[in-house]
Structures are given as structure tokens and as C-alpha cells.
Amino acid sequence: MSDEERDTVPERRAQNQFDFLKYFPLIALAVCTALCVIFMRIPFLSIFYLAPLGCAVMLYGSYLVPFIAAAAVHAAVCLITGTFAPNDILYMTAMFFVFAWMIGGKALRTLYRFFITAAAGTIGFFVIINPADSFNVLYEQIVTELAPGASVSGLMEMVNNVLLRGGALVSMCLMYLANRQLALTAAWIVKRRRNDRKLTDFFAPAGLIWVLSGAIATILLSVLSGIVILEIIAWNVFIICAIIYLAQGAGILLHIIAKRSSAFRTGILVLAVALLISPFSLIAVAAMLILGIAENWVPIRTAKKTL
């Protein structure tokens, strides 16, 4: 065996390590479903409990079967361990379904499925989880520990106002994004093929700028008129538009630096991360948002694609 062939053996072995999952969808389904429930039971992994389900959808090729398997196993584990809570099982089942649909659905653009899923998760949180007595007790304990001596009721009201006006939606978007990216990475390790497009190919829907403008105008009018429910809806619409334009701004930045040298790209990315974690993070986010909005009138990229 030549030195070149000997060097490629470990690489081929690494590539073939998970090949059996590609050819046995039921094994992949069982493994991913088990990991999904295990992640839910481990505190520091619980935020990623949807990622194995997303990986199962990609490997299985259908979102209904992995959803049914994950929901059934979760309900069975709750019954066996004695942690049966109808509200929790209902909410988790709904989360399983919308996330599996977001990963495996074909009817709508990925962007629309993502925000429909995030909105469904947010509404489910307020309707099913937030009113629960156990959650309110935990909520009060956290607030008390974070701000001892302060008015608990006042702080809880402030946090609820933030959650209603986009805070909960942003949290859902971040959680779904993290789980989606982790699922894509796991599926890539198994299949050795990308399942998504690059961020440089992302473009905001045409006409979104009018939705953003309408949301801002509605927020101002609802604050002046005192219509709270209209203000809450407008804030959430504004948050969705802002996230989309932030993604477009990030895509523009990556597009600009893509043709530069690797050292230049690394330097820009390090600078961007440093700005995001610095006291100037709001300025960096605002600049990215403005850059994304500016492409409505300044064609920085020419060939438009959808993601």
C-alpha cells in the first residue's frame, strides 16, 4: 500500500462510520428518537432536544413518521417515570410536530416555515405553559434570585411585557435556529451532503419593507391610542421583519468578503463577533439591519435566490 493510499484510509473510515444510518432509516429513526428524549432529560442538553428529531426527518425523508415516533416515546417515558403532565405533553407534541414540519415540509419556503413554527411555539408557550401554576412558581423563584429585595410582582410584569412584545418570539427563533443548524450538521456527518443553502443566497421577500413600515406605524398609533393587543401584534411583526433583514445583512456581509483572502475573511468575522459581544453590540446589530434594509434600493447582490 502506497503512502497516499495509507493516508486516505482514516478519511474513508471516518466517512463510512455512519453509513449504516443512511441505508437503514428505521435504525436512524430509533437512534434519533431515543436521543431526543434523552436530551430532554439532561438539563444542559435540553435546549437541543429537537435537533435529533430534525436529523431523523432529514435521514428518514418524511416528517410525519419521526414526529409520531418522538411524540409516542415522550408520552411513554412520562407515563413510566410518573412525570405525566397533560399540558407539558400537549405542548411538547405540538413542538415536535411544527419543528418536524419545518425541517421536512415542502409546501412553503423555508423562511415562512421557520417563522410559522416560531410563532406557533410562542403562542403555545403563552396558552399552555405560561398560565400553568408550576411554571409561575418557577418563574417567581428565578426573578427573586436574580433581583433579591425588588418587587417581584413588578419585575414579573415587566418581564411579561417584554415577552409579549417579541421577547418570547426571539427566544423561540434562537432555539429553533440552534436546533435546525445542529440537525443539519448531524445529517451532513451521516450523509456527507449539505441540506441547506448558504446565507449569501438568502434574500428577504419582496415587499417586506412595507410590512416593516406598517408595523412601526402601527406600534406608534397603538401606543398613542392605548390599544394594547394591537401594539403586541405589531411588535411581534416588527421583530420578524427585523430578524429577516438582519439575516439579509449578514448575507450581504458574507457576500462582500467571500472573494477576499482567507486571512481577510477571518479578520472580518473575528471583528464582527467581537463587536456583537462588546458594549457596541447594539450599534453592530443596527448597522447589519440597515445594511439588510438598504438592499431594497441598492442592488449589492445581483442574482436573487430564495432560502
Using an 8 Å Cβ cutoff, are 117 and 91 in contact? no
The Cα–Cα gap between 108 and 106 comes to 6
Summarize pLDDT for 94-138 with one digit per residue, the tens.
889 999 999 988 878 888 999 999 999 999 888 887 766 556 666
Alpha carbon distances (Å) from 281 to 45, 159, 275, 286: 27, 22, 5, 8
Exposed/middle/buried for residue 86 (C-beta within 10 Å: 0-12, 13-18, 19+): exposed
Q: Give residue 228's pLDDT.
A: 92
Amino acid in position 271: L
Q: Give residue 3's pLDDT.
A: 47
Question: The whole model's pTM is what?
Answer: 0.80
Helix (H) or strand (E) holding 40: helix 25-41
Q: Give residue 216's pLDDT.
A: 95
User: 210: which 3 cell numbers?
Assistant: 412595507
Q: Domain ranges in the chain?
A: 1-195, 197-307
Angle at 168 between CA 144 and CA 271, to 5 degrees: 95
Q: Give residue 215's pLDDT.
A: 95
The list of the chain residues with pLDDT below 50 reads: 1, 3-16, 306
The Cα–Cα gap between 50 and 52 comes to 6
